[in-house]
């Protein structure tokens, strides 16, 4: 038999899961609107340079994970692996480069060619926000508080928020030097990947998961001491804003995040329930992002939460499916051509009133139509044949107990 499973790392979303998905999106829209954010939808693919320049050639996503193809004219296009770069491209002509503030949110599928595992997919969905155009630590704090508001609104308690500062790019050489001097003395105890990172990108050593490297990282000096006083003051102000807004957090100097555009604040939200190794349910930070053909960066702060991971976490916490309340379904059973025609008209009227209505349009036996009514989970069957048509009534059968009553169709519509 043919294999009709979707490609690895992708899935079909239907039924109760689709309803919870939509509920999550509606809740996000409600929360973000309260902070004056508006929805943005951009194309699912962009010119490849938007991502190579925007995220940085050196990032894992750009180097290994992008789905890139040529269009008919030979231009290279890429399915978006994340939302920030495309949002910046779209906002370029709004004045964000000149300090005009834009607040947008999005709920999009993203594509990364990663090795699939629980909570790690090749097509996944992010709910994200970007506050673009202005730079102020209060905005970083507000953005994080909004993330926590959203997470609590969808019934996820007990997530832990880690934050850190990456400073500005001008802060990093001195800080990297500090780390280099320290790690140089431990290189032979570290994993081969870290030895390579030592030469290529020393910051990546900080998030190595190997126990031996972990212990060395934990004892490493606080490199933020080498940042400028302004950058340190910026981070202090972010922390103060979070305290003012009653958002609990821990500072984690090993949090560097995988994308190159971050400056100053970075943050990640993890949850221990349900996810195993892929326990980051959301991540974000402040960024300076460069687009092709523009030498000034777009500045903003934002985050994205992984919808599949939010769903897995909710499930592990025993949260009930939302938006999945049983809605009443009515099934119209028609015996004979004339009754079926009348049922089509009745179905249209009921549907226009918002009643979920199913019916049989072909010539099927009563028994077969009852089976269909049961299969769709109908609460009531409305039955009629020639004699009911003559009397101007339908028989309403309560599917839970088999009780029947007669009613005029118009009266039935009014009662709905
Ligand atoms: P990110 O950390 O790469 O950040 O992704 C954000 C979230 O998307 C992750 O915390 C995770 O929940 C989810 N996610 C990432 N990859 C996968 C995957 N393969 N399968 C399932 N879920 C995944 C960004 O994308 C940034 N654009 C966030 C941001 C917005 N920073 C500033 N503004």
Q: What is the DSSP string of 239-281?
A: HHHHHHTT---EE-TT---S-TTEEEEEEEEE-SSS-TT--EE
- Nearest residue to 266 (alpha-carbon basis) of 362, 144, 156: 144
Residue closest by Cα to atom 21 of ligand 1: 120
pLDDT at 325: 64
- Ramachandran angles phi, psi of 374, nearest 5°: -65, -40
- pLDDT digit string (tens) for the chain, length 416 residues: 568 999 999 999 998 899 999 999 999 999 999 999 999 999 999 999 999 999 998 889 999 999 999 999 999 999 999 999 999 999 998 999 999 999 999 999 999 999 999 899 999 999 999 999 999 999 999 999 999 999 999 999 999 999 999 999 999 999 999 999 999 999 999 999 999 999 988 999 998 989 999 999 999 999 999 999 999 999 999 999 999 999 999 999 999 998 889 999 999 999 998 777 778 999 999 999 999 999 999 999 999 999 999 999 999 999 877 766 678 999 999 999 999 999 999 999 999 999 999 999 999 999 999 999 999 999 999 999 999 999 999 999 999 999 999 999 999 999 99
CB 269 within 8 A of CB 28: no
- Nearest residue to 180 (alpha-carbon basis) of 161, 160, 203, 146: 203
pLDDT at 320: 79
Tokens representing 263? 């400056």
CA 125 – ligand 1 centroid, Å: 9
What string of DSSP letters covers 188-223?
GGS-HHHHHHHHH-GGGGGG---HHHHHHHHTS--G
Number of the ligand 1 atom closest to the C-alpha atom of 282: 10
CA 126 – ligand 1 centroid, Å: 7
Residues in contact with ligand 1 (CB, 6 Å cut-off): 82-84, 112, 114, 119-121, 124, 126, 128, 130, 258, 280-285, 287, 302-306, 308-309
What string of DSSP letters covers 132-186?
ES---HHHHHHHHHHHHHHHHHTT--S-EEEEEE---GGGHHHHHHHHHHHHHTT
Sheet holding 38-39, edge to edge: 38-39, 102-111, 123-132, 298-306, 280-289, 262-270, 160-165, 250-251
pLDDT at 130: 98
Mutate to test the pocket of ligand 1, among 82, 84, 135 (most ligand atoms within 8 A of CB): 82
| Cβ burial, residue 204 (10 Å; 0-12/13-18/19+) | middle
402: CB partners within 8 A, 6+ apart:
none
The half-sphere exposure of 288 on its side-chain side, counting CA atoms within 13 A, is: 12
The half-sphere exposure of 115 on its side-chain side, counting CA atoms within 13 A, is: 2
Q: What does the alpha-carbon distance between residue 161 and residue 238 come to, in Å, rounded to a whole number?
A: 13
Furthest C-alpha separation in the chain = 96
* Chain position carrying tokens 């709920």: 107
Residue closest by Cα to atom 13 of ligand 1: 306
Mutate to test the pocket of ligand 1, among 54, 264, 288, 306 (most ligand atoms within 8 A of CB): 306
Q: What does the alpha-carbon distance between residue 404 and residue 416 come to, in Å, rounded to a whole number?
A: 17
231: CB partners within 8 A, 6+ apart:
165, 167, 168, 171, 224, 264
Tokens representing 54? 């925007």
What string of DSSP letters covers 322-382?
SS-PPPPEEEEEE-SHHHHHHHHHHHHHHHHTT-EEEE--S---HHHHHHHHHHTT-SEEE
Residue closest by Cα to atom 30 of ligand 1: 303
CB 32 within 8 A of CB 130: no
Residue closest by Cα to atom 1 of ligand 1: 283
Distances (CA, A) of 30 to 24, 86, 270: 10, 23, 23
Task: Determine the 3-state secondary structure of 300 from DSSP.
Answer: strand
- Give the bridge partners for 78, in sequence order: 46, 68
- Give the bridge partners for 381, in sequence order: 331, 397
Q: What does the alpha-carbon distance between residue 361 and residue 39 come to, in Å, rounded to a whole number?
A: 41
- Ramachandran angles phi, psi of 364, nearest 5°: -125, 155
Q: At what angle do helices 229-244 and 137-153 cross, to 10 degrees?
A: 40
Number of the ligand 1 atom closest to the C-alpha atom of 85: 27
CB 164 within 8 A of CB 227: no
pLDDT at 348: 97
Residue closest by Cα to atom 9 of ligand 1: 282
Residue closest by Cα to atom 23 of ligand 1: 306
CB 133 within 8 A of CB 102: yes
């Amino acid at each position: 038999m043919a294999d009709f499973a979707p490609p690895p790392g992708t899935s079909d979303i239907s039924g109760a899961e689709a309803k919870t998905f939509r509920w999550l999106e509606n809740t996000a829209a409600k929360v973000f609107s309260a902070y004056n954010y508006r929805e943005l939808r951009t194309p699912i693919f962009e010119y490849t340079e938007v991502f190579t320049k925007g995220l940085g050639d050196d990032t894992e996503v750009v180097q290994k994970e992008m789905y890139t193809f040529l269009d008919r004219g030979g231009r290279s296009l890429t399915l978006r692996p994340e939302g920030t770069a495309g949002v910046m491209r779209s906002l370029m002509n709004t004045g964000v480069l000149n300090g005009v503030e834009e607040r947008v949110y999005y709920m999009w599928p993203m594509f990364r060619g990663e090795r699939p595992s629980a909570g790690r997919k090749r097509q996944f969905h992010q709910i994200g926000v970007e506050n673009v155009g202005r730079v102020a630590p209060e905005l970083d704090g507000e953005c994080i508080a909004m993330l926590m508001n959203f997470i609590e609104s969808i019934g996820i308690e007990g997530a832990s928020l880690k934050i850190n500062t990456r400073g500005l790019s001008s802060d990093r050489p001195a800080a990297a030097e500090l780390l280099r001097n320290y790690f140089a003395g431990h290189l032979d105890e570290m994993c081969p990947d870290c030895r390579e990172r030592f030469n290529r990108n020393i910051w990546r050593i900080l998030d190595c998961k190997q126990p031996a490297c972990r212990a060395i990282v934990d004892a490493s000096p606080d490199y933020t001491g080498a940042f400028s006083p302004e950058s340190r003051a910026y981070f202090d102000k972010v922390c103060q804003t979070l305290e003012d807004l009653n958002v609990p957090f821990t500072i984690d100097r090993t949090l560097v995040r995988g994308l190159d555009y971050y400056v100053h604040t970075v943050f990640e939200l993890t949850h221990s329930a349900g996810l195993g190794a892929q326990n980051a349910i959301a991540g974000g930070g402040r960024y300076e992002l460069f687009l092709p053909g523009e030498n000034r960066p777009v500045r903003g702060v934002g985050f994205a939460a992984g919808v599949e991971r939010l769903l897995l976490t909710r499930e592990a916490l025993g949260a009930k499916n939302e938006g999945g309340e049983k809605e009443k379904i009515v099934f119209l059973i028609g015996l004979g051509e004339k009754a079926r025609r009348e049922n089509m008209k009745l179905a249209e009227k009921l549907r226009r009133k918002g009643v979920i209505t199913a019916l049989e349009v072909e010539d099927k036996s009563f028994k077969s139509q009852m089976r269909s009514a049961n299969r769709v989970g109908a609460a009531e069957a409305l039955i009629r044949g020639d004699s009911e048509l003559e009397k101007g009534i339908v028989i309403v059968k309560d599917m839970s107990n088999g009780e029947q009553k007669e009613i005029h169709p118009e009266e039935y519509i009014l009662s709905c």
